Chain A
Amino acid sequence: MLYREAGDFKTSYAADNQTFPIRFDRYGYYLVLAFAFLVMPMVISDYWANSIVIPFLIYAIAALGLNILIGYCGQLSLGTGAFMAVGAYACYKLMVAMPGLNIVFVVVLAGLVTAAVGTLFGLPSLRIKGFYLAVATLAAQFFLIWLFTRTPWFFNYSSTGMISAPTRTLFGYPVTGPSASAVSVYLVCLSFLVVMAWLARNLTRGTIGRKWMAIRDMDIAAEIIGVNPMRAKLSAFAVSSFLIGVSGALFFAVYLGAAEAGEAFGIDKSFLVLFMVIVGGLGSILGAFLGAAFLIVGPVLLKMLLVNQFDWSSDLAAHLEVMIIGALILAFLIIEPHGLAALWRTIKEKLRLWPFPH
């Protein structure tokens, strides 16, 4: 009887439109935020931060971005890895060129650069759809990675061909480079994720979001009722690439510390983020979180179980993991195309009626 909306009447349209219309959800959300910002930094170990929590935070931003493009606007992209690379390399070049610039601005600027590149590669979407577009984004994936690995300017002519992040501080604490502590990295990533999710939620709840969804559901009808398809699609590409670029910048600068385009941002990254979106739920902000959590935590747990517990070779565990991921994608698409987020909704609906289901 705890979880219910009865008696929780709305007296204004603003109250009816809010993100968590049910009081219980709202408090739950504040609780999670407080826990993430106040409790986690105290208790988190370096191992957990580096192997699970920080990758989760960063991938969740990328999944949010891709979900805007695929889940909200219906434009399939397989170029996520390359766009993350754009964010990473833009971040690197900016860090090196302007050592005095605050890292937060650097990351945001890197996102903006990625937005520009993403919009450029989104131009074909004005003429082509579906898997045709997927192939066009593959062009972005392979071309950009080639460009980053072959053009020495991008990695400042370093002999290894890698880019590595110099140390930058925030409020006096180093957040990039070898001396950055796991907790400060965690807090930076968390803050970015919260802000990005807030932006994504705002954009998807209003006019722009409805334009995207209209294009997704029926592009011709959308145009006839007054949606400018060019602006809708390109803005989706821009916003999506911005988020993906931010995630790429964080992935490189605060998480990896050093990266090489082909290795860190290959096509397998594109698929990984796509799978997060599918498993989490197409067209759902919450889904991006759930999908990223699932596909980051799942493999780690599987590996812990098989390799550490049962002494399997890590190769074997990796093969099984690939197979399981494939099977999960199929299962989700067949059973619940709206992913974990929809399962969550169903559970809540059941809860709302509990204990009187009829």
Chain B
Amino acid sequence: MLDTQDDGYMTADGRKIGGVAMEMRNITLRFGGVVAIKDISFDIRWGEVRAIIGPNGAGKSSMLNVISGFYHPQEGEVIYKGYKRPRMRPYEVARMGIARTFQNIALFEGMSVLDNIMTGRLNHMSSGFLSQAMWWGKAAREEEENREKVEKIIDFLEIQHIRKTPVARLPYGLKKRVELARALAAEPAILLLDEPMAGMNVEEKEDMCRFVLDVNDEFGTTIVLIEHDMGVVMDLSDRVVVMDYGKKIGDGTPDEVRNDEEVIKAYLGVAHD
């Protein structure tokens, strides 16, 4: 057990933020000669909405990929729930309660919405091979129990009407929502959202914002979020990490970040009049 526990804090709107859930320590990630992430450290607390912002190519998505175990950093370590996380395959990370969505939607196009969301529950289903082959006993029972949970998420995200539609036929905005549903179905402790509002119109963005806040509020899910829309980031997040060219140039509450000299210079630009 590493000494990273403390009591957390209260937010302005009265939500209780817990201790440190995950800590990134001196992460460096290289692809050949290209350095994608350079010696970055920050932490994520239980129950907060943590945003990562920065210009294109700043290394935000790479950071998310490190958290979800898809990339393995050359240096540094990931501390999760107080323990140093060993090198893991992505599916093992998923089983530790980390779910995510993708920048370019990564739904299973050949499956229905329902099946897509059901895949999110994989890690909660454990019936054996024979039971499934016979569809008898645990397999059938488990399928029904998990279907009930999935139906709750379907209600929550208001996608009842497309339940049985093949994903390939959905418009972009709905696909993003289904992807969120799939991630939620996993009942993750930490939910990683990679640009959940990219390419959406204002109305869709508002819906998505509402869902993100509701998820955080109702299920107490910790959320790590990459987003370009500054308004969205400032409204949603409790704390913000700012990245530029693979380096961390700012870290704090939205207000702190907004007023940080270096952040303004590097990211928000001078045209802040």
In the complex, A touching B, CB below 8 Å?
Answer: yes
Write the B68-105 contact mask toward A (1 if CB under 8 angstroms, else 0). 11100000000000000000011101110001101000
List, in ascending order, chain B residues with CB within 8 A of A12's CB: 144
List, in ascending order, chain B residues with CB within 8 A of A208's CB: 129, 132
How far apart are the CA atoms of A13 and B93 in the complex, in Å? 31
List, in ascending order, chain A residues with CB within 8 A of B90's CB: 223-224
List, in ascending order, chain A residues with CB within 8 A of B183's CB: 225
Among B70, B93, B94, B129, contact of A220 (Cβ-Cβ < 8 Å): B70
**Contact-residue size bin, chain B (C-beta under 8 Å from the other chain):** 35 or more
List, in ascending order, chain B residues with CB within 8 A of A203's CB: 132-133
Quick one: which of B41-81 are within 8 Å of A by CB? 68-70
User: A102 on the interface (CB 8 Å rule)?
Assistant: no
Among B89, B125, B147, contact of A223 (Cβ-Cβ < 8 Å): B89
User: B182 on the interface (CB 8 Å rule)?
Assistant: yes
Q: State how many angstroms separate the Cβ of B96 from the closest Cβ of chain A.
A: 10
Q: Is the interface of A mostly helix, strand, loop or mixed?
A: helix
How far apart are the CA atoms of A114 and B110 in the complex, in Å? 29
How far apart are the CA atoms of A228 and B88 in the complex, in Å? 12
Q: Is the interface of B mostly helix, strand, loop or mixed?
A: helix
Q: State how many angstroms separate the Cβ of B69 from the closest Cβ of chain A.
A: 8
> How many A-B pairs with Cβ below 8 Å?
105
Q: State how many angstroms separate the Cβ of A217 from the closest Cβ of chain B.
A: 4
User: B237 on the interface (CB 8 Å rule)?
Assistant: no
Q: State how many angstroms separate the Cβ of B88 from the closest Cβ of chain A.
A: 11
Residue of A whose beta carbon sits closest to that of B148: A13
User: A300 on the interface (CB 8 Å rule)?
Assistant: no
Q: Are B91 and A226 in contact (CB under 8 A)?
A: yes
Sample 27 A-B pairs with CB under 8 A, ordered by A number: A12-B144, A13-B147, A14-B140, A17-B147, A203-B133, A206-B132, A206-B139, A206-B143, A207-B122, A207-B132, A207-B142, A208-B132, A210-B118, A210-B122, A213-B108, A214-B119, A216-B110, A217-B108, A217-B111, A218-B107, A221-B107, A221-B108, A222-B108, A225-B183, A226-B95, A226-B122, A283-B110
| Interface set of A (CB-CB < 8 Å, partner B) | 12-14, 17, 199, 202-203, 205-208, 210-211, 213-214, 216-218, 220-229, 235, 283
